[in-house]
Structure 1
Amino acid sequence: MTKSPETLSSARRLISSTYVSSLVLCAMGVVGMPALAQDDAGETSLEEIVVTGQRASIQSAQNIKRDAEAIVDSIVADDIGKLPDRSVTETLQRVPGVTIERFISIGDPEHFSAEGSGVAVRGMKHVRSELNGRDSFSASGGRSLSFEDVPSELMAGVDVYKNPSADMIEGGLGGTVDLRTRMPFDSDDRLISGSVSVNYGDFIKETDPSGSLLYSDRWDTSAGEFGLLLDVAYSEISTRTDGIFLRPFFARNDVTEDGSTAWIPRGADWRSMDFNRERLGSYAALQWRPDDTQEFFLTVFRSEYDMRWDEDAIFVSNSPWSIQLSDDTVFDENGVFVSGTLSNTAPPSWEPQVPGIPFGADIRVSERESVTTDYAAGWKWVPTDNWEISTEFQYTDSTTDTLDSTVATGINLESLTIDIGSEPPTITTDEEFLADPTNYYWAFAMPHVEDSEANQFAWRGDLEYKFYDSVVKSVKVGLRYTDREADNINTGYHWQGIYQTWMTTDWGGGLNVNELGMPYMADGSQMTLNTFDNFFRGDADLTGVVWAPNADIAAGYPGSYVDLYADAAAYADSLGHPYSATYGDYVLRDPNDEQWANIQEEQTYSAYGLLRFGFDEWAMPLDGNIGVRVVETDSVSSGFLVYPNVAPFGDGSMEPVRAENSYTNVLPSLNLRLSIREDLVARFAVSKAMARPEFSEMQAYQILNADVDADTGGVTLSSGSWNNPYLEPLEADQMDLSLEWYFNDAGGMAHINLFYKDIDGIIRNQTIAEQYPDLNGTLQTYSVTRPINAGTAEIQGYEIGYSQFFDFLPEPFDGLGLQANYTYIDSSTDVPASISADDGSLIAPVDTDGTMIEGTLPYEGLSENAFNLVGMFEKGRISARLAWSWRDEYLMSIGPNGFNGTDGGVGTNQSVAWKLPVWSDATGQLDGSIFYDINDNFTIGLEANNLTNEQTRTIMKQNGAGDHYASYFVNDTRYALTLRASF
């Protein structure tokens, strides 16, 4: 019988769909792999060839990539289960073009994260996160999901889309990461599987449990076919990170005999941090197929994430201009400090007359609890071979509660000896002095509270009509509506001194410099002696112990703060110093106060049209899609405008603000696929993408300041709001050109992908003039610093990938395989420099001597070079991997905490505002795993992270002082012993 072309085409689609679906299932250990074969009559049939483990997962991922209309890279469940990764974030780092952050935040280079955090695609942090093709987010002031919050055990696969099509939801400037969960109909039969693990960190020396359990089944009934899947995963992890810090260098011309310029570091300090987290994920899915034309689904996904880290630190807090140097100080040929002893035995007249180098010794406790729950329901109807109609409803609710609390004692060290000629630097001080609790005084406390809630309702409807025997394959249209509310409370970091050197009697304060020490702390009820055992794994030449506050004081906010300040005031009063009358009690910031609230409402309305086409009869078949997506965004930010309490400019009153913002984006896209040969595919994609500003940047809260000069009577009107409810999205014109070679059916492929992005609307702080009325109704001009869409950037580069199992080798080496990918990215930015109206400091990078930092800075978070190398072995019952991930240095932030300031010059009160760029140094990590199939049902394995105990470093770049390492971190090698079962 002769089959029509459309019948053959339908058959090919059915076989391809079955093949890919089976690959995914076999990667999960559910079924064998199907192969096409011919029976004796010459008819095509399916023959089962059992392929499991890494081979099946790689083949499945490659088939997804090959058959996709857009440019996509995938990892399927078996990869997530067998790569040595304990979260979705760490799994994603294996994907070409994807890098992850090794710090808690890219803007905080002082706190390393042993477990990966932020995800960037092609250097862009504006990554859209999806759950089964639908919105997913964490309520932390942003728009995306914290991937580290998501248990990898709940995932069937992860798809990373590099260039979108019109039917994809907007919002991913760098790309879109779609987390796919399993569905009941993915399995033909009942499936019960589970795992238990024991996780051990060799530095913190703690053991933690983890486990998962999955049940899936399906039933034929008189009402149709039903499927149910239940999945739960729980894990804990503990790590320790030690850090050593070298502080910025300052130009001094008063420390050398000839008066030449010498660059002196402000000092050095050290820290140790313990990190603990718990993660619980649960998932339920119900499918119902009443007949061959309809299917309904209902899913509930919930992720709970609890984290706490405790940091013990001692950090320098001196003035760089009051440092004196020992006679044996060594400088290099450029006058930059190499080694010597820093002291402050004779403070200059413009500094507090307190001998010694002031240090803070703190305990910092940071706790975060995040819960995200996602409900989704949908229906698909295929009434005929031509029509397909689908609709989905989704409701997402997310909460995040954070307490970041720091309480510090203070101590004035006589001297500090530093040698930066060694790595890490050698730091020496008087350990006996540090060990005496009577040398300490209560220094300050600083809480930071966040309480965020967000929810969103979303609906989408899609209609597709398919053509046969036509160049036009289908026409698809759709609508989508979302309604999101976000209420983010953020009190900021509220520093308030307890006893400070500038509170001394020499400066008109209420304290006696000779009575700063507080013997009553020596009983240990409020302080803990940290001896920094095994600091830096013993690889650092460091002497020093620290008396720091008990962690309970930091974690007990707000009650512990009230008690702490009351005790400090009573102690000062007992010495005859009117502390409480001079400085007052600690002023709590009430999180319920409206001024800390950031209330956002946002609705989006989108429509798209997509046309699929294909020239199947060409010698080199060409297919693809072309379409356009139009989306309107309407937002409302509610907050307050606070007037100055200086007549006639204001009376300190607060005026409610309702800031309405609306914008429309037109997002065209084109995706082409050319089948040069059966094994060689070329792709071209061009599109416009957009990414909305973060909610944390859109707060409608602004304080107007009127500063009166006591000498001249002049008034400076300014405002540093640091938020802007009228921000618009970033946009990018982007292009991809790729070539993919599938050179064998056993997972062998290679590809190269060239990409380009032209980005507009980069958000940066700028100073502009704005007018506000005074008490008489007269408009007054204020110099206002706020984020605006001010800059542009260009990003271009290429990705190269290769994967193969070496079946041609003799046994047992035919089980060897290799995966490798390399990404090169070049970028340039054009962001205008600006002067802050708040403190006169430059937003652009400025050295400590006031000169602009030389060179053009790249886009933040973007490494020029990155690669992954994964060695694999799969033979018989053994499956093993060794994975090395490496990325080049990248810019983290300009002027983060510890790398910015306004310091007076020697002998003057002249301010020098400076903001240094801080980079993460090039770094790599080696992870490994080995699993053994005990039988068809049970597998045991060992996984390890950070096998080579890598040292992570950051770099501060200056002009005269040159480049220096700013920090050094070491953390755990983590091990997990796992037992898996599947029935």
Structure 2
Amino acid sequence: MTDNNKRTSTFTRKKLPHYIRLASGASLLAMGAAMPAFAQDSEADDAALEEVVVTGQRLSIMSAQDIKRDADQIVDSIVASDIGKLPDRSVTEALQRIPGVSITHFKSLGDPEHFSAEGSGVMVRGLTMVRSELNGRDSFTADGGRALSFQDVPPELMAGVDVYKNQSADLVEGGLGGTVNLRTKKPFDYDEMELSFTAEGNYGDFVEKTSPSGSALFSNRWAAGEGEIGVLLDFAYSEAATRTDGVYTRALFPREDLVPGETVYVPRGADWRSYEFDRERQGAYGVVQWRVNDTTEMHLQVFNSQYKEFWDESSIFVDNWPYDIVPAAGTEFTYDENGIFREGELASVTGGIPMGAATRFQDRQSETTDISYNLKWNPNDKWDLSFDLQHVMADTKSLDATVATGVQLDSLYVDLTGDRPQMRTDADYLSDPANYYMAFTMDNRTDNEAEETALRLDAEYKFDSEVLRSTKFGVRFTDTSSENHDTGYDWQPIYQQWMRWWAVDGMAPLPRANADQLSLNTLDNFYRGDGVHPGVFMTPNISLASGFPQTFLDLHQEAADSGNYLCCYGPISVRDINDDAYSNLQDENTSAIYGVTYFGWDDLKYPVSGNVGVRVVKTEMSTEGNTIYPTAITDLDGNQGFYREAQPLAVDNSYTNVLPSLNLKMELNDELQLRFAAARAMSRPAFGDLQAYQVLSADLPEGTELADGPSLEDFILTADLFDNPKLDPTLADQYDLSLEWYFDDAGGMAHINLFYKDITDLVSREFVQEEYNGWSYSVARPTNNGEGKLQGAEVGLKKFFDQLPEPFNGLGIDATYTYIDSEMNLEDISQPVDTDFSSYAELPFTGISRDSYNFTAMYEWGPISARLAYNWRSKFLMGVGQNGFNGDTNGQWRLPVYNDDYGQLDASIEYRFNESVAFSLQAINIGNAETVLIADQNAAGDHKSSYVNDTTYIGRVSVNF
């Protein structure tokens, strides 16, 4: 792949419209003779043939079309000019244009409270078990997983992205859903010196910030004393800022005490939040390529990607026991015909609705560096040999800090009759700092490092046979180590309502917060003016969160010195991230051997070609960590329990997998080909699930009212973080049938692909009772206890309408559609339980939309190039019992949470002043698409939460020499 600004494709065919006859450099790809459609032209017609130079979007599609048509597997691709011209800010967002690929718009599927305007979480055919590669080699982010966070990678450094939908023996194992390979440029991709620059500004209309971006590329090649040497350097820098506002209701609970003789469903309350996000992304890439002679070539590549993100959030959320809710004095709730709450003013039998008002701060920094060397040697016409050596280093550091106040509301009005929840309460009361108390602090820190060395040797031998084409075989060895430090989420109360009577004075109000430590949050332009909310509330100063750890220590010390505690609470100590108790060490070694044979029958009526092979891979791993016990707790009788010094853990595990594969291609005619593929694929568990790191907790049940204080038996003993170093990989037997129609060599093709996956050894968590230090804990441990089936179809069409009269013959379309049906069988603690304790039918796989499509309208005419792209996906399951959607903090009720149907419209237009200078405009999220979450309840029905974010405008100047 090459950069679209200089690279072109030259081929001979009938005279084409002038919008693709743009002379702008030498050719990249010789397309050969005339298209089949013109095979019977007369000699007179041949005289009208001319050489034309293809550029722009058509070249991008033609290049991707050639990759798909000639590949040994089922592959879909995007080339660099697509990534540059699609209105997408990251590789992740560009990938969603490929059939079968989808993304989410949250920080993760497991965190529906934190929206991400820039897409995250790439899934191929609905599965998150996707292998990520950089130039065919391992690449990863040190975040506990095995994949690269694609949003961390500058798209400006990419030559193309290939998505492999099925396996062959020579592909590295690990992609159960598929393999995403990011390809960078090389100096021999260019015929001469290349020098290019871009500069752009990004404006978010909701956050009202402008952020800069830019890139630069230099490439050249020279004749050396022996052979030829090329050097390429590529740099990219980008910033972005977004804002997201969200409103949502908590779960509805069955109540038999509100309407005589009826069961009605009433919400626990409602929350709202505003979230601002800033990120900085930079990358550097360099390669030296040396073609020694006709038989020997080598290259050395260095790739570095750095990503920094910072976000802060203001939120106000319910903190009450759901069965305390009653109508405010003198009011009544309204219900629909099924007894489900529609609107009303919520109050509490305890005299007030406890709410929390929090300021949260997160800072994350990631870096990945890849150094690789490759040598190719073709000693004769029979043998091709390759040696590849790679070293990857990755690290991630993060701080997540929250400081929250508490406030007792007399009432909260909630209206669920519209498209989104609407809330209001007494703004004057919320704006008075005297009504607030300091409620809690919470922090989490991570410091992860990982590195891998990989060695690969490949050889291919070509046969002198009409059937057997060649055989390819090789070995691959990896040595991966990671050191992960994670303090867990350390929630520490300052003052809580449940402390009354035994920890603080039960008659007096909770101590007032220091007004100097609070800020008035007016939520300006909240929800773009469409969301009803209280208008103002007080949150802790952002400096209290960002000042961790000292500000946390000071807040708890101030409370301890105040004399307000009757017993049991006082200063805290901050968890030391360098303490071995919070560390986990992992080592993994893999060794793989493979063989694959390529064959074909050209003399058949319908020529057949393909490959059959097997890959055998052995995985050995060891991990070291600790079991962390709860903080020492002393009850009013002086009994102390639970605490013990951290206990070390060390676990070894190994397994061997045999992975056969078959790929067949039948050429039905010059334009039509049929493919069949069958393979066994594997995906190793995430490093985060393999940790020997266990954190035990002792918590009082939510809603507990203890006038005399707790005894040790009152505490619920659970495990916050329990992983399983003995996990095995997830396996899938998978089949593909694909029909591909290449009806136009100048960018026209269509395809339909049917696929099926039979999946075993899925990882899910299940409850077991285990004893630690003489106490029985309920432990949620991941195990290979699940299985599932996934089937579906992908359809794609690309076409330019050359037959239309000028200027409409510059129009084209790129359309894809994906259908997925899935079912899974898990013995999982995350099986949903409604607030009336009813169960649910079988759930789909997490993250899978049944229907999704992408439609892009393209136009090129002279110097103008434009796209209008709409991407849509149907409702999909985000998870079960996630934060904010549990019935209570102890997980007694667990609701399934879905992301509702979502569609987003983006656009771009470029004008080329000449061969060297171009200007483009992009608009992302035109129309301010709303993201809606659905908490699925049986009798209570669905209730919705809602998020809105920016429309982003990008202006870009490109210069090429």
TM-score by length of 2: 0.91
> Which residue matches 2:784?
789
> Which residue matches 1:69?
72
Residue 170 of structure 2, aligned match among 162, 167, 170: 167
> Which residue matches 1:699?
691
* One-letter amino acid matched to 2:98: V
Distance 1:299 1:763, change over 3 A: same
Distance 1:47 1:697, change over 3 A: farther
Is the counterpart of residue 478 in structure 1 residue 471 in structure 2?
Answer: no
Distance 1:544 1:385, change over 3 A: same
Q: Answer yes or no: is the 8 Å Cα contact 1:598–1:696 preserved in 2.
A: no
Query: How do residues 522-671 of structure 1 correspond to structure 2 at under 5 angstroms?
Result: 523=516, 526-570=517-561, 572-573=562-563, 577-578=564-565, 582-641=568-627, 652-671=644-663
- How big is each residue's C-alpha offset from its partner over 1:791-828, in whole Å with a ceiling of 9 and x where there is no partner? 00100000000010000000100000001000000001
Distance 2:464 2:426 in 1: 84
Q: Answer yes or no: is the 8 Å Cα contact 1:27–1:76 preserved in 2.
A: no
Is the counterpart of residue 489 in structure 1 residue 485 in structure 2?
Answer: yes
Query: How do residues 179-258 of structure 1 correspond to structure 2 at under 5 angstroms?
Result: 179-256=182-259, 258=260
Q: Which moved more, 1:46-55 or 1:751-760?
A: 46-55
The number of aligned residues is 917
> Which residue matches 2:910?
931
Q: Answer yes or no: is the 8 Å Cα contact 1:610–1:625 preserved in 2.
A: yes
Distance 1:560 1:614, change over 3 A: same
Deviation at 1:492?
1.3
Q: Answer yes or no: is the 8 Å Cα contact 1:762–1:791 preserved in 2.
A: yes
Residue 343 of structure 1, aligned match among 343, 347, 350: 347
Could you say what secondary structure the match of 2:81 adopts? helix
Could you say what secondary structure the match of 2:555 adopts? helix
Deviation at 1:171?
0.3
> Which residue matches 2:756?
756
Q: Answer yes or no: is the 8 Å Cα contact 2:10–2:27 preserved in 1.
A: no
Could you say what secondary structure the match of 2:893 adopts? strand
Q: Answer yes or no: is the 8 Å Cα contact 1:29–1:53 preserved in 2.
A: no
Is the counterpart of residue 509 in structure 1 residue 503 in structure 2?
Answer: yes
Distance 1:277 1:546, change over 3 A: same
Deviation at 1:588?
1.0
Distance 1:19 1:129, change over 3 A: farther
Could you say what secondary structure the match of 2:82 adopts? helix
Distance 1:552 1:746 in 2: 59
> Which residue matches 2:765?
765
Distance 1:562 1:642, change over 3 A: closer
Deviation at 1:340?
0.5
Q: Answer yes or no: is the 8 Å Cα contact 1:439–1:517 preserved in 2.
A: no
Distance 1:651 1:548, change over 3 A: closer
> Which residue matches 1:839?
none
Distance 2:690 2:800 in 1: 50
Distance 1:29 1:55, change over 3 A: farther
* One-letter amino acid matched to 2:823: S
* One-letter amino acid matched to 1:290: V
> Which residue matches 1:294?
296
Is the counterpart of residue 846 in structure 1 residue 842 in structure 2?
Answer: no
Deviation at 1:18?
10
> Pairwise CA RMSD of aligned residues?
2.8
Distance 2:640 2:411 in 1: 51
> Which residue matches 1:807?
802
Distance 1:272 1:749, change over 3 A: same
Q: Which runs of 5+ in 1 are unaligned?
A: 1-15, 21-25, 348-354, 835-842, 904-910
Question: Alignment identity in percent?
Answer: 51
Deviation at 1:564?
2.0
Q: Which moved more, 1:749-758 or 1:26-35?
A: 26-35
Distance 1:110 1:118, change over 3 A: same
Deviation at 1:875?
1.0
Query: How do residues 674-689 of structure 1 correspond to structure 2 at under 5 angstroms?
Result: 674-689=666-681
Distance 2:802 2:783 in 1: 56
Distance 1:247 1:28 in 2: 59
- How big is each residue's C-alpha offset from its partner over 1:938-963, in whole Å with a ceiling of 9 and x where there is no partner? 00000110001100000001111011
Distance 2:506 2:402 in 1: 25
Distance 2:286 2:837 in 1: 59
Distance 1:656 1:328 in 2: 57
Q: Answer yes or no: is the 8 Å Cα contact 1:33–1:50 preserved in 2.
A: no
Could you say what secondary structure the match of 2:117 adopts? coil
Deviation at 1:546?
1.4
Distance 1:160 1:32, change over 3 A: closer
* One-letter amino acid matched to 1:343: A
TM-score by length of 1: 0.89
Is the counterpart of residue 921 in structure 1 residue 900 in structure 2?
Answer: yes
* One-letter amino acid matched to 2:560: A
Q: Answer yes or no: is the 8 Å Cα contact 2:740–2:751 preserved in 1.
A: yes
- How big is each residue's C-alpha offset from its partner over 1:492-530, in whole Å with a ceiling of 9 and x where there is no partner? 1111111111223xx222246544353641x4xx22211
Q: Answer yes or no: is the 8 Å Cα contact 1:33–1:48 preserved in 2.
A: no
Could you say what secondary structure the match of 1:941 adopts? strand
> Which residue matches 1:955?
934
Distance 1:474 1:566 in 2: 74
Is the counterpart of residue 744 in structure 1 residue 735 in structure 2?
Answer: no
- How big is each residue's C-alpha offset from its partner over 1:171-227, in whole Å with a ceiling of 9 and x where there is no partner? 000000000000011111000011000110000110010000000000002132100
Could you say what secondary structure the match of 1:79 adopts? helix
Q: Answer yes or no: is the 8 Å Cα contact 2:245–2:947 preserved in 1.
A: yes
Q: Which moved more, 1:381-390 or 1:325-334?
A: 325-334
Distance 1:390 1:18 in 2: 31
Q: Which runs of 5+ in 2 are unaligned?
A: 1-7, 13-21, 35-42, 634-638, 702-709
Distance 1:558 1:76 in 2: 46
Query: How do residues 421-440 of structure 1 correspond to structure 2 at under 5 angstroms?
Result: 421-440=417-436
> Which residue matches 2:374?
378
Could you say what secondary structure the match of 1:102 adopts? strand
Deviation at 1:420?
0.4
> Which residue matches 1:447?
443
- How big is each residue's C-alpha offset from its partner over 1:75-110, in whole Å with a ceiling of 9 and x where there is no partner? 001101100011100000000000011111100111
Distance 1:716 1:386, change over 3 A: same
Deviation at 1:690?
0.4
Distance 1:80 1:240 in 2: 24
Could you say what secondary structure the match of 1:60 adopts? helix
Q: Which moved more, 1:312-321 or 1:714-723?
A: 714-723
Distance 1:382 1:818 in 2: 42
> Which residue matches 2:320?
318
> Which residue matches 1:363?
359
* One-letter amino acid matched to 1:303: S
Distance 1:373 1:712 in 2: 50
- How big is each residue's C-alpha offset from its partner over 1:432-475, in whole Å with a ceiling of 9 and x where there is no partner? 10111111111111101111100000000001101234211101
- How big is each residue's C-alpha offset from its partner over 1:625-655, in whole Å with a ceiling of 9 and x where there is no partner? 1000000000001013468999999993544
- How big is each residue's C-alpha offset from its partner over 1:145-168, in whole Å with a ceiling of 9 and x where there is no partner? 000000100000000000011000
Deviation at 1:28?
11
Q: Answer yes or no: is the 8 Å Cα contact 1:483–1:604 preserved in 2.
A: yes
> Which residue matches 2:285?
283
Distance 1:708 1:363, change over 3 A: closer
Could you say what secondary structure the match of 1:915 adopts? coil
* One-letter amino acid matched to 2:544: I
* One-letter amino acid matched to 1:120: M
> Which residue matches 1:81?
84
Distance 2:436 2:662 in 1: 66
Q: Answer yes or no: is the 8 Å Cα contact 1:142–1:696 preserved in 2.
A: yes
Q: Answer yes or no: is the 8 Å Cα contact 2:581–2:646 preserved in 1.
A: no
Deviation at 1:743?
0.7
> Which residue matches 1:6?
none
Q: Which moved more, 1:736-745 or 1:638-647?
A: 638-647
Distance 2:388 2:433 in 1: 64
